[in-house]
């Protein structure tokens, strides 16, 4: 890793040159007593990145699950005269293969979440804190979905599409517009 050196000379009193202090600090570390804080834009970017990790791992584990299902079921003997649960064996094997892929898709977010936590280990506690705060804001400001209709659907109830502070402000405006529209039509 790169190291940064800083030299400080104490000039209060004439002292020999040997009192020059050299401080070495690694570029990846922070000054003692000062911890970096996670601002809202960074939190929302990390939140979006976590969703991408989950999606990528879902695609990967779905492919792995389907491959395992095909590998296992391709080696099974099929008796075409017998039915499985009242269906043709080829159809059941096809459904079982799709089921293996679906199981892989469902396992994906767990794998992606673990990979994200390993990759962003230093931010985990701050992300969890910001996530709690963010969800409190969402719960406080979201609309009542019991009044939705085809002409007035609920706008992003869970705040899943929020990726920046600007988008959060737009989400708040959409919530207010929904409430005004709802009150006008009651």
The model's pTM is 0.70
- The Cα–Cα gap between 159 and 167 comes to 10
Most distant CA atoms of the chain, gap in Å: 102
Q: Which H or E run includes 127?
A: helix 124-141
Domain definitions of the chain by residue range: 142-186
The H-or-E segment that residue 48 falls in is helix 40-74
- Residue 24 structure tokens: 């070495």
Half-sphere exposure of 61 (CA within 13 A, CB side): 20
CB atoms within 10 A of CB 91: 12
Nearest CA-CA partner of 102 in 68, 74, 51: 68
Helix H or strand E encompassing 22:
strand 21-26
CA distance 182 to 186: 6
Residues of the chain with pLDDT under 50: 1-5, 7, 9-11, 18-24
- For the CA atoms of 125, 130, 131, 132, the dihedral, rounded to the nearest 10 degrees, stands at 100
What angle (nearest 5°) sits at the alpha carbon of residue 149, between those of residues 143 and 151?
Answer: 105
């Amino acid at each position: 890793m790169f190291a940064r050196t800083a030299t400080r000379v104490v000039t209060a009193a004439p002292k020999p040159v040997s009192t020059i202090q050299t401080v070495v600090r690694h570029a990846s570390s922070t000054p003692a007593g000062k911890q970096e804080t996670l601002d809202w834009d960074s939190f929302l970017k990390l939140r979006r990145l976590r969703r991408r990790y989950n999606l990528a791992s879902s695609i990967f584990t779905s492919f792995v699950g389907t491959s395992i299902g095909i590998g296992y079921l391709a080696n099974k003997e099929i008796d075409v005269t017998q039915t499985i649960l009242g269906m043709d064996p080829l159809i059941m094997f096809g459904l079982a293969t799709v089921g293996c892929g679906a199981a892989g898709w469902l396992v994906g977010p767990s794998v992606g979440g673990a990979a994200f936590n390993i990759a962003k280990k230093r931010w985990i506690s701050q992300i969890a804190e910001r996530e709690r705060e963010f969800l409190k804001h969402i719960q406080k400001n979201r609309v009542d979905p019991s009044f939705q209709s085809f002409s007035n659907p609920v706008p992003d109830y869970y705040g899943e599409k929020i990726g920046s502070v600007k988008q959060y402000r737009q989400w708040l405006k959409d919530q207010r517009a929904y409430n005004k529209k709802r009150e006008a039509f009651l």
